[in-house]
Structure 1
Amino acid sequence: MKILLVCAGGASTGLLLKKMEKHWDSIGVELSIKACGLGSYQYHAENYDIILMGPQVAYRIKEVRENTSIPVSPIATLDYGLQNCENIYKLAQEMYNDKEKN
């Protein structure tokens, strides 16, 4: 699964990215993940399976969906703030499975 994490500037998702890599590695899940700012998601989106957006930019989700052809979902504020990788993994897996069905 290839995930693009999008936030305002890429810094806060960069921290989350590191924690997600460690968590998913510990449960044996292969993960390709990149964090970027809202201004550059279009340059990267075609190389990823799904986009997860930080809650601080979730108000732009409609725009991101219109500009990409892959599933996009916001990360819940609490999960993002607590860096709850287990819940974020569940969200990503559901999105990926739905994409594979269609």
Structure 2
Amino acid sequence: MKIILCCSQGMSSSIFVRAMRQEIKKQNLDYTIASIGIFELSKYIDKANIVLLAPQVKYAFKNISEMSKAYNIPTVLINETDYGMMNVKKILKIIRDENNNK
């Protein structure tokens, strides 16, 4: 499973991505995650299985969802509380649920 986390510049989410990687390893999941800026998404979306959207760029949710839909990839907007509290277990559950709904 290849996960892309979009944020404004691809840098502010590095702590969140690090926490996700630790939890992925802990749960022994075959997932990879990378963060990128929303303006770079078009370069990498064809390699992803799911797109996560950081709350600071929720304004772009509709456009990113439309782009993802063209590749049959779900887009998930992470809510501010889960993002701020680093609730990576919940986000991984959402990812699993989205994958199961395909």
Choose from 59, 63, 80 the match for 1:77.
80
Report the secondary structure of 2:13's partner residue: helix
Aligned to 1:29: 29
Over the residues paired in the alignment, what is the CA RMSD in angstroms? 1.0
Structure 2, unaligned stretches of length 5 or more?
Answer: none
Shift of 1:35: 0.5
Aligned to 1:62: 62
Partner Cα distance (1:47, 1:77) in 2 = 26
Aligned to 2:90: 87
Report the secondary structure of 2:51's partner residue: strand
- Where in structure 1 do 4 or more consecutive aligned residues deviate above 4 Å? none
Partner Cα distance (1:33, 1:3) in 2 = 5
Shift of 1:18: 0.9
Give the TM-score normalised by structure 2: 0.91
Letter of the aligned partner of 1:72 in structure 2? T
Identity across matched positions, percent = 29
Letter of the aligned partner of 1:47 in structure 2? K
Report the secondary structure of 1:11's partner residue: coil
Letter of the aligned partner of 1:77 in structure 2? E
Structure 1, unaligned stretches of length 5 or more?
Answer: none
Shift of 1:94: 1.1
Report the secondary structure of 1:40's partner residue: helix
